[in-house]
Amino acid sequence: MEIGPYIKLHRIKQEMTQAELAEGIVSFAYLSKIENQKTEASSNVISLLCTRLGIQLNNDTDETIRDKCQQWYEMLFEVNDKEEIIKTYKELNSLMYEHHSDSLILFEIHKIRYFLILGEFEEALTQINRLADMSGTFDSLHQFYWYKFKGNYSSLNGEFSQAMRMYRIAEEKLNQLELSEEKIADLLYTIAVTHSKLRNTLEVIEYAEKAIDIFRKQYNFIRCAQCHIVLGISYRRIRMYDKAIKNYNLAKHLGQLSQNKQIIQLANQNLGYLHSTKGDTKEAIHFYEEVVDDQEVVLVERVAAATSLIKEYYNVYNFDQAKRMIGRSLDLLEEKNNNEEYKLFYYIIYTYDYALKKEKDKFESLVIDEFIPYLKKHKDYANLVIYTNMVAKHFEGHNRYKDAVKYYKLANITYEELVSL
C-alpha cells in the first residue's frame, strides 16, 4: 500500500485532523498532497508523521500479517465461532496499528463485515463513513468487497433496493478479478436472496440456479441447501407448489447428509408456510411443530414456528391450542424482552392474546396504534394484509362497519402492492 493513503487512513482512524498531524512537521496543505499521492515526501517527513501516528515502517512482518488476514477473511466468509473471530481480529488490529502493511485497506474494508456479524450496525456504519473518503483510491479487489459489504449493511437494515445496487456493482467487478468459485457463488446467492426480498421471482431463480451449479461442483451441501430453500420460496410465490416442495425436500435431504439441524428445520418452517398458504392446516401444523420442538434450532426459528402455530390454531377456532402456543412462545422469549429482532413476534403474540381474551381496547390500541405502523415502516406487506384483515373482521363483529370498511380497503390496497412487487 502506498504510504500517502496509509498515513491518511491511520489519521482518520485516530480522528486526527490534517492540521493536528502536520503541526510542526509540514503545512497541512502539503500533508494533503502526500495523502492524495500528489507529491513524494522525504523519508524524514514520512518518519516524523508515522512517529506522531505511533506506527512503524517495517515490512518484515507483512507476510505474517497477510496470512493471518486471509485466515480471518475465511472466518468471516463462513461465519465461524464468534469468539475465535474476535480473538483473531484483536491480534490483527494490533499488528496493523504498529506496522505498515499492504493488507491494511482490505483489512479495514472487512471490518464492515466483522461488525455486521457481531450485530454492531452503528460501528459498521461508522467504518463505512471512515472509508468513504478513500474509496476513490481502491483497486478492483477493494471495490468488490467495499460494495459487497455495503450491500450487506443495507440489506440488514431492510434497504433491499439499495443493497441490490451495491451487489450489482460488486458483480460488475468479477470480470476484473480472479476470485475463487465459492466466493463468486456466495455473491450470486446473496443477489438471489436480495431479489427474493424484493419479490423479483424470475431473477431469484436465475441467480440461485447459477449459485447452486457452483456449490454443487464444490460438494458444498449446506450452501446448495440454502439455494434450494430460496428456490422453494420463489416457486411457492408463483404457486408452483410441487416444485417448491421438491426444493424444500432437497434442502432437508442435504441438511440430513450434513447433520445440520438449522437447514432441516428451516426447510420444515417453509413447508409449514407453504401448506398454510394452500389451506392445509393439518400439514402446516405438523411441520411447525417439528421446528418448535427441536431444541438444537436457533431461537428465532423456534419462535417463528410457535407464532405461526398460534395463527393456524386461531384460524381453525382451536382456541385452547392457540392459548397453549401463546404460553409456549412467551416461554421461549423469556429473556428477549428488549430485543428489536423479536419485536414482530411480541406484536403477533399479544395481538392473538388480546383477541382470545376479548380485551377489545387493548387489542385495538396494540394493533392500530403500534403493530400496523410497525408493519408499514418495515414494508412487511404479507403480515400487513393478515392483520388489517383481522382488525376489519374485529370491527365487523362489533357492528362498526365504517371502521371495518376502512381496514378492508387498506388490506386490499396492501395486497395489490404485494402482488405488484
Cα–Cα dist 126/121, whole Å: 9
335, pLDDT greater than 80: no
User: Where does 133-287 show beta strands of DSSP type E?
Assistant: none
Model confidence band, residue 374 (pLDDT cutoffs 50, 70, 90): very high
Residue 337: predicted pLDDT:
59
What is the per-residue pLDDT across 128-179, written as a single tens digit (0 to 9) for each?
Answer: 998 998 888 888 999 999 999 999 999 998 899 999 999 999 999 999 999 9
- What does residue 99 show for φ and ψ, rounded to 5 degrees? -130, 150
Q: What pLDDT was estimated at residue 418?
A: 65
How far apart (Å, rounded) are the C-alpha atoms in residues 375 and 401? 24
Dist. CA 168–CA 187, nearest whole Å: 9
* Pick from 260, 186, 263: nearest CA to 232: 263
Across the chain, mean pLDDT equals 89
Does residue 77 have a pLDDT over 60?
A: yes
Contact 334, 306 (CB under 8 A): no
Nearest Cα to Cα of residue 227 among 240, 214, 241, 238: 214
Owner of C-alpha cell 507483512: 62
The whole-angstrom separation of Cα 241 and Cα 251 is 15
pLDDT at 56 over 80: no
In this structure, what C-alpha cell is assigned to residue 59? 515490512
**Cell triple for residue 281?**
392446516
Give dist(CA 247, CA 209) in Å, integer: 12
Q: What is the pLDDT of residue 17?
A: 87
**Is residue 1 scored above 60 in pLDDT?**
no
The string of pLDDT tens digits covering residues 198-235 is 989 999 999 999 999 999 999 999 999 999 999 999 99
Residue 56 pairs with which residues in a beta bridge? 99
Q: How far is CA 71 from CA 105, 120, 286, 391, in A?
A: 16, 22, 42, 53
The pLDDT, as a whole number, for residue 373 is: 94
pTM of the predicted model as reported, rounded to 2 decimal places: 0.79
Q: What is the pLDDT of residue 414?
A: 81
59, pLDDT greater than 60: no
Residue 11 phi/psi, 5-degree rounding, is -65, -45
Q: Would you state the pLDDT for residue 338?
A: 59
pLDDT in tens, 234-265: 999 999 999 999 999 999 999 999 999 999 99
Helix, strand or coil, per DSSP, at residue 261 = helix
